[in-house]
Amino acid sequence: MGSVYAPVRVSDQSFAFRSVRDEAEIAFEALRTILPPKKFFYPAKETILECDGDEVKEHIEVVEPFAVFGVHPCDLAGLNALDKIFLSTPQDSHYQRRRRAAFIIGLSCLPDKHCFCKAMKADAPGKGYDLFLTDLEDKYFVQVNNQEAFEFILSCKEFMHLASDQDNQGYKKFWNDRDSMFEHNFDSAQLPNLMDLGWDHPLWQELGERCLSCGNCTPVCPTCYCFDMTDVAMFNSEKVEAERQRVWDSCQFSGFAAVAGGENFRPGPVDRLKFWYRHKLHGFEDPIEIPSCVGCGRCTVSCPSGIDDLPGVIRILAGRPQLNLEGEIA
């Protein structure tokens, strides 16, 4: 096994997935990391093509096996959504190589006030992990998802025992108790309808006027995957070397929808914010049929303007404005 990545504390209030060598480095209490684990599979910048003189060829990175520990259910759901994007035909070989090299160890968590994964049906360990650990306080209940994970378990069986009836009861109690802790509960099946009906709601103008177009909300989102391509050339006396790089982009940036001729399909922050919300709450319905928000709450905590409160926006669109965005929107 190569590198192991896990959440570590990087400030009083924030955590990040980092390479760890010792269990003591791991922040087992971490709820949401600054960036989701998508960064391991779809990095912020990567070389796609390389040009060596006259030859242009695909850049093929050798990816060593690695493990990611501490992936919570919403982030597993985010990876499953990205799988649908990048592993649908034609598959993205760069993403696929990293996905194949990874061993994912999921970990249970308890929600805070920003979590709404339950409403988005992304609150349970469904798939996308190799092992999933549920914290039963004095032990972990381990779910094994495939043969590779089973062989790993066999290699450390001195730390394991078969789940007893009491363990099974403890597992069910944990998930039932956790279920009752969520503050936000709405019917996510209604979101596409709410977004269609609310397309001209004055809320978008109010929120858009407060948006700084900083783009914070997109890199932190487990399902945002928009990118730009840049060509980087290096000249020397003998030949031209160059790379085509894929870099994360954001639909909140003013130039994102700019096209040749000086036109811009979404020139102002109101248009861009509304577009982003639509993508998150209407989802990738056609043709992928999955929601594109997994309710992790990262955009809420990272927005400097305090306008990415998705549950608050949903309540307003649903016609329950008494429960508005912390009283800031009339």
Q: Which of 51, 273, 301, 316 binds ligand SF4 (CB under 6 A)?
A: 273
Neighbour count for residue 225 (Cβ, 10 Å): 18
Query: Shortest Cβ distance from residue 272 to ligand SF4 (Å)?
Result: 8
Contact between 309 and ligand SF4 by CB under 6 A: the answer reads no
Per-residue x/- mask for ligand SF4, residues 212 to 241, rule CB under 6 A? xxxxxx--xxxx------------------
Q: Which is nearer to ligand SF4, 216 or 245 (CB)?
A: 216
Query: Shortest Cβ distance from residue 279 to ligand SF4 (Å)?
Result: 9
Tell me whether residue 262 is exposed, middle or buried, using C-beta atoms within 10 angstroms of its C-beta: 0 to 12, 13 to 18, 19 or more: exposed
How do beta strands 15-20 and 66-71 pair?
Answer: unpaired
Query: Shortest Cβ distance from residue 160 to ligand SF4 (Å)?
Result: 33
**Distance between CA atoms of residues 37 and 105, nearest Å:** 12
Contact between 308 and ligand SF4 by CB under 6 A: the answer reads yes
Tell me whether residue 300 is exposed, middle or buried, using C-beta atoms within 10 angstroms of its C-beta: 0 to 12, 13 to 18, 19 or more: buried
CB 232 within 8 A of CB 243: yes
Query: Shortest Cβ distance from residue 102 to ligand SF4 (Å)?
Result: 20
Q: Which of 82, 102, 133, 310 binds ligand SF4 (CB under 6 A)?
A: 310
Residue 47, beta-bridge partner list = 245
Query: Shortest Cβ distance from residue 220 to ligand SF4 (Å)?
Result: 5
Task: Name residues contacting ligand SF4, limited to 287-306 (CB under 6 A).
Answer: 293-299, 303-305
Q: Which is nearer to ligand SF4, 51 or 211 (CB)?
A: 211
Tell me whether residue 310 is exposed, middle or buried, using C-beta atoms within 10 angstroms of its C-beta: 0 to 12, 13 to 18, 19 or more: buried
CB 13 within 8 A of CB 19: no
Contact between 254 and ligand SF4 by CB under 6 A: the answer reads no
Instruction: Please name the residues in contact with 206: beta carbons below 8 A apart, sequence gap of 6 or more.
Output: 329
Q: Which of 280, 282, 312, 316 binds ligand SF4 (CB under 6 A)?
A: 280
Instruction: Please name the residues in contact with 236: beta carbons below 8 A apart, sequence gap of 6 or more.
Output: none
Q: Which of 211, 251, 301, 317 binds ligand SF4 (CB under 6 A)?
A: 211
Question: Which residues contribute to the site for ligand SF4 (CB under 6 A)?
Answer: 211-217, 220-223, 252, 273, 280, 293-299, 303-305, 307-308, 310
